[in-house]
């Protein structure tokens, strides 16, 4: 059940402890993919999994601005500090849990959110009256994930399938030819770059031409299946803490 | 220009210093109006004003969870603390200003956000590299505003016109008959109630039957005209601070 | 019982759960009214109500510096951030409640404190072992309140009655002739001014000549009666939270 | 010039960079001395020094609640956390400095405030546009200081001279006979007591009978002379930071 | 130059902008490896690299307690919150930079610190007068890193070579037989475990018997070579931020 | 038991509620004593007392960076803010208490840490599930303490005895001749200096020539005996809070 579209009486009639909280980012995704890509993809995966899951799942509204300062040189990129992002997620999850939806998957569409989500979900699970884990959709697509990039084949594919209005088809070629091959600037497995503009001219990493609509359909199927499996595991999970050694 | 739907190259081609940041709330609006009412109405007003304004205006993605703990007894209501809400708004405005869109109207759909928005906009205007003011749409609708209530005539009307899927027409009558007449529980002009559940059984204040689609159309015209006037005033405003006395 | 003037043994002998916490501001009030106006008026109202109330009431010492940065261009104006102000009020109320005085009215003399007090009293009532509401004296004076202004008829009147040493009678005429007619600079019901110096030359809003000593006496009677009524309502109020819907 | 009693025009006419900020505490001082003792004594010293100083000095309103949780078992004791206290002092000093009064002595009447004041004054002097030092009056009274205690000879004496209404003469004998001889419970020069109630039954340390009015007059003379000397030293002090070694 | 062992005059005579800040953790490492493992290994790598580097490098004292709450069920594990850890690292780096050592590698020995270090180093590099990157030694050991585990082959090997007193040889067999094979409890590439005690009985992951002293020597050589390479890259790096797109 | 050198199984076998947490500082100690002096001395005292105490005592790893900004002009001095220092100490003590070691002495080697430690230990003892007191070693050495200084006779003596590698014997004479006689720059018992560089050229206060190895041995004996006495007192102390008066 998509919370923003429901009334409180409808929400109150639910019998579940599962909720999804989509989180994205408003940030550059190259000249061909819209700034809202990470919200659109997170929502697409959350919606598909909710439909596929055999049981009720609450879907909270999407959090649209995340940890994305690394793209600050590109116009339109928005960001908040990791502290503020964690607080916003933590308190929203607490409100969900207040209504009994206390097993929450944060469905994430942006790589830059990953460390902050890991931290805040651990905090929630240890301190608050809720259990939360983060699920980043492109981690749940099998071997495709190795081609993730940024505005690259995976995101372009998923958008073409799930939100085609967010893709500027006429700029795919340009996006591809100026793209970087790899995220970051690495020495001894340490990324020396502070911002993405240090290693990509147009904000793209990877080849968006490899992101067909058909591939997008497959990605959505894979990611939503992974999320469904996660929901099943969480629903039945014993949350009692382990004993002191 | 709606930022989430645009690419960074499109955003970078803009020549304006005006931006709108819609903020709402996900909270009960009675048995007949959806939890996402305050986001939907804020977006409707922001979009209408952007269309009507003679000049470019950036529209940021909507902030979906605000200061709404007062509705916590009603399922589905989400909230964050005022501190977190202020930080989220402040940092998002700072990111807008980073790209040159440094005259920002926060377009608000929720009464409970008003004090926090007043505070954070003053902080932004005094401390940060931006000027920000809050505009709450139901303050910009002339004498209609005296009937605001909650899930009452104004919100119901605007939804019917701008987002009819968020209204459950079959429950309007029920919503009206169990509604409270007035917000709060007042002694010496002090509201003694901590939560709305202390004075309304079903979450409604005011009579949603008075909220026709036609009235909604008028409200949207009034609110967006007021916002357009505000944008004009802000665009030309001299922001130099006054001299020391 | 005025706490600073009492010993702990006297305080310990009290049998009440009611306390008043006066809060003011040290800020410009025009060339004719002292910087301490908002403390003096809050104290006058708190003292008068304490005298008039049929029962024991603890009166805490007054908090002298509040949320007043909007007057920063005028020498002598002091302020703290809203965050610090809220913490100072919240923790002082918690200490009062620690001793059993856990129904607290914050008696306020300054308009700029109102949003922060609304927020912190809600926080106290929801999170802490106390119930608190703010009472701003010029809200409790019937139709007079429409003439509030700043350093205008109401404050001048109350000072003349309750703290005449704080009024420079010889500058009333000057104060009046250079005063602004209205607080703020409004477009679409939004105040575009960040600081009061943007719309008032001498810091005054309204006509202090309309503030006679007799009017001050009436204001004090009205405000203290309103506060007495509030104390009565609070003393007997059932503070159990409403049920979940 | 006592700021609360002055208008902004009077404050604006001053030509000085010196200010005093009295800070006290509202806390138990035994059965014979009022809870407001530490404010009254700080104010007495600040006023006497202002009178005696050959030059203009701004006197801010007194901060009435400080770091006093150690007295929490005694009714009427109020306190805020050290963090909140430091913020309140720091921001008030910043406002003073904003008006050009940027050499500030915090005139302190409460031992429990000393560590927090030392910290915040160092922070102010290093980070903010002001120089601040704390002066605790009973440190400036020569050898008398060794008899400080709590509600003991020094405070009783100064109250009798400067604020006799705050002393209950009829309870001095009782106060003395039940008093502790020493502050704290010491092992290896470490105070093991968390609260004063662990070592004093009635809140008193030292013998208030040794605190005559005449002694109070002498204490005030000594303390105000010390403060005058401090003001002179600060007024002429070179505040340029030392060179890097 | 190891800072704690040097005088300020010696430190002041240095001509470098490179510094290492070792950070570890005090946490369980199975029945056979000491709680101080992560500090000892980080120091060993920092020292070896400092010796090998052709140039001066400042080595700060090691930060001994990190982000390790996940091991809380095992006696002796210490931890601070990620917020406190970040502040401690950030401010220590700021002090290093204050003395001109403003290119800093945080040499890390604990996997649980990685997300917090990534965040704080980005914050430092964007906001403060320093450039900082984290280097986690077991990321710099080639393919060995795939066997990392916890108290497993890699850490046991490095300890045996660099700090043999921290290994209880008599318990290696027991450590190995009760060890978990894998870190975490995974569904859809999401770790559902909040604490390590959910998946390891004795705190060990991986087989410590595979951690010979000779392997430890090789690991140290690999890790310190990687760190030397990183130092070289950082020393010459152009830190000017990229242009706005 | 020194925690970093022990395994969790060894730590888990302990039966005590006593722990020591050494805290120092990395800061200038003149041209003759190393930056790590305050850690080395705190550790020496903690270790000696642990050896001498008739019972088990846990010794946590030393916190190496404290409140030392006052020495910032001298190269190599490191510091964190008092807030961060308090958080780091508080959370580390909470982790010790989590394992049952909930009577903690913070063994301190640096005067600048004293106020922050007093505050945080009171906070711990009042709010957390632990009791903590600070012990600063040079307070526990009888009349020697009056000669403390900085890098002066006491610290030099203790280093010579306990950590002779940290003393540059060849610079003792120079250290002595350029040393200041007294800490601070005092008027009316207020220290006007913000930084130590305002009153000492080489960072030394007092005469290090008076710090023989033999004196160091005596100091260590005195300090550790005082700490042993403190441990005994704490072990048996009734921690129940006193009654409300």
B201-211: pLDDT as tens digits:
999 999 999 99
The mean per-residue pLDDT over the stretch B130-148 comes to: 97
Predicted confidence band of residue B213 (pLDDT cuts 50, 70, 90): very high
Task: Give chain C positions within 8 Å (CB) of D99.
Answer: 75-77
- Say if A200 falls within a structural domain: yes
- d(CA D25, nearest CA chain C) in Å: 9
CA E241 to chain centre: 28
Please tell me which residue of chain A has the smallest CA distance to B80.
A91
How far, in Å, CA of D67 to CA of D77, rounded?
A: 10
Taking all residues of chain B, what is their mean pLDDT, rounded to a whole number? 98
Q: Does B199 touch chain A (CB under 8 A)?
A: no
Q: pLDDT truncated to tens, each residue of chain A (245 aa)? A: 999 999 999 999 999 999 999 999 999 999 999 999 999 999 999 999 999 999 999 999 999 999 999 999 999 999 999 999 999 999 999 999 999 999 999 999 999 999 999 999 999 999 999 999 999 999 999 999 999 999 999 999 999 999 999 999 999 999 999 999 999 999 999 999 999 999 999 999 999 999 999 999 999 999 999 999 999 999 999 999 898 88
**E125 contacts A190? CB cut-off 8 A:** no
- Say if A242 falls within a structural domain: no
- Say if D244 falls within a structural domain: no
**B99 contacts A32? CB cut-off 8 A:** no
How far, in Å, CA of A53 to CA of A235, rounded?
A: 11
Give the best residue of F113, F122, F136, F144 to mutate against chain D (max D CB count within 10 A).
Answer: F122
CA dihedral A96, A99, A105, A106 (to 10 degrees): -10
The alpha helices in D99-212, defined as continuous H runs, are: 114-127, 153-162, 172-177
pLDDT at C76: 98
In this complex, the residue of C3, C9, C65 whose CB is nearest that of residue D26 is: C3
- In DSSP notation, A56-104 reads --EEPPPB---S-GGGTTSTT-----HHHHHHHHHHHHHHHHHTT--EE
- d(CA E125, nearest CA chain A) in Å: 7
- F215 touches F157 (CB < 8 A): yes
Three-state SS for chain A is CEHHHCCHHHHHCCCCCEEEEEECCCCCECCCECCCHHHHHHHHHHHHHHHHCCCCCEECCCECCCCCHHHCCCCCCCCCCHHHHHHHHHHHHHHHHHCCCCEEEEEECCHHHHHHHHHHHHHHHHHCCCEEEEEEHHHCCHHHHHHCCECCHHHHHHHHHHCHHHECHHHHHHHHHCCECCCCCEECCEECCCCHHHCCCCCCECCHHHCCHHHHHHHHHHHHHHHHHHHHHHHCCCCCCCCCC
The mean per-residue pLDDT over the stretch F7-14 comes to: 98
Task: Give chain A positions within 8 Å (CB) of B34.
Answer: 4-7
**A75 contacts B88? CB cut-off 8 A:** no
Task: Give chain E positions within 8 Å (CB) of F171.
Answer: 7, 9
* A contact residues 116-155, partner B, Cβ 8 Å cutoff: none
Q: Does B245 touch chain C (CB under 8 A)?
A: yes
In this complex, the residue of F116, F125, F187 whose CB is nearest that of residue D230 is: F187
**D7 contacts C168? CB cut-off 8 A:** yes
**E74 contacts F91? CB cut-off 8 A:** no
In this complex, the residue of E7, E35, E72 whose CB is nearest that of residue F7 is: E35
- Say if C199 falls within a structural domain: yes
SS3 D163: coil
| Residues B78-87 pLDDT 10s | 999 999 999 9
How far, in Å, CA of D192 to CA of F118, rounded?
A: 11
Within 13 Å and on the Cβ side, how many CA atoms surround D193?
Answer: 15
- Strand (E) or helix (H) holding A175: helix A172-177
Task: Give chain D positions within 8 Å (CB) of C74.
Answer: 8, 12
User: Would you say residue F245 has pLDDT above 90?
Assistant: no
In this complex, the residue of B139, B197, B234 whose CB is nearest that of residue C242 is: B197
- Say if E96 falls within a structural domain: yes
pLDDT at B245: 85
Q: How many domains does chain F have?
A: 1
What CATH number does the domain containing F206 carry? 3.40.50.10310
- Say if C241 falls within a structural domain: no
The mean per-residue pLDDT over the stretch F28-37 comes to: 98
Q: What are phi and psi of B114, to 5 degrees?
A: -60, -50
| Tokens describing residue F7 | 């395994």
Tell the burial category of A243 from Cβ atoms under 10 Å away from its Cβ (0-12, 13-18, 19+). exposed
Task: Give chain F positions within 8 Å (CB) of D241.
Answer: 73, 194-195
Distances in whole angstroms, Cα of residue E105 to Cα of each of E16, E229, E242, F105: 13, 12, 22, 33
- d(CA B67, nearest CA chain A) in Å: 11
Q: Does E11 touch chain F (CB under 8 A)?
A: yes
- Say if A15 falls within a structural domain: yes
Residue-number span of the structural domain to which F63 is assigned: 3-235
Give the best residue of E82, E125, E239 to mutate against chain A (max A CB count within 10 A).
Answer: E82
- Say if D245 falls within a structural domain: no
How far, in Å, CA of F161 to CA of F44, rounded?
A: 10
CA C19 to chain centre: 15
- B76 touches A12 (CB < 8 A): yes
Q: Does D87 touch chain F (CB under 8 A)?
A: no
- Strand (E) or helix (H) holding F222: helix F213-235
User: Would you say residue D157 has pLDDT above 90?
Assistant: yes
Give the best residue of E84, E144, E194 to mutate against chain A (max A CB count within 10 A).
Answer: E194
Task: Give chain F positions within 8 Å (CB) of D75.
Answer: 245
Task: Give chain B positions within 8 Å (CB) of A26.
Answer: 3-4, 60-61
pLDDT at B243: 87
pLDDT at A245: 85
User: Would you say residue B188 has pLDDT above 90?
Assistant: yes
User: Would you say residue F244 has pLDDT above 90?
Assistant: no
pLDDT at A219: 98
Please tell me which residue of chain F has the smallest CA distance to D121.
F194
pLDDT at B116: 98
Give the best residue of E143, E187, E233 to mutate against chain A (max A CB count within 10 A).
Answer: E187
**F192 contacts D133? CB cut-off 8 A:** yes
Predicted confidence band of residue C107 (pLDDT cuts 50, 70, 90): very high
pLDDT at F177: 96
């Amino acid at each position: 059940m998509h919370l923003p579209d429901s009334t409180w009486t409808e929400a109150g009639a639910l019998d579940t402890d599962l909720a999804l909280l989509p989180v994205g980012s408003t940030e550059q995704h190259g000249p061909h993919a819209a700034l809202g890509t990470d919200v659109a993809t997170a929502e697409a995966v959350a919606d598909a999994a909710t439909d596929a899951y055999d049981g009720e799942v609450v879907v909270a509204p999407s959090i649209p601005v995340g940890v994305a300062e690394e793209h600050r040189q590109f116009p339109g990129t928005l960001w908040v500090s990791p502290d503020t992002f964690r607080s916003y997620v933590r308190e929203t999850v607490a409100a969900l849990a207040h209504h009994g939806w206390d097993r929450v998957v944060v469905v994430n569409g942006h790589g830059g959110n990953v460390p902050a989500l890991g931290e805040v979900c651990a905090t929630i699970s240890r301190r608050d009256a809720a259990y939360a884990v983060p699920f980043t959709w492109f981690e749940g697509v099998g071997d495709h994930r190795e081609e993730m990039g940024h505005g690259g084949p995976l995101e372009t594919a998923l958008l073409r399938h799930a939100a085609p209005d967010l893709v500027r088809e006429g700029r795919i070629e340009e996006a591809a030819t100026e793209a970087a091959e790899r995220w970051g600037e690495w020495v001894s497995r340490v990324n020396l770059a502070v911002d993405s503009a240090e290693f990509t001219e147009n904000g793209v990493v990877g080849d968006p031409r490899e992101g067909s609509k058909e591939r997008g359909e497959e990605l959505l199927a894979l990611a939503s299946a992974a999320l469904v499996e996660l929901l099943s595991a969480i629903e039945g999970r014993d949350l009692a803490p382990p004993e002191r050694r």
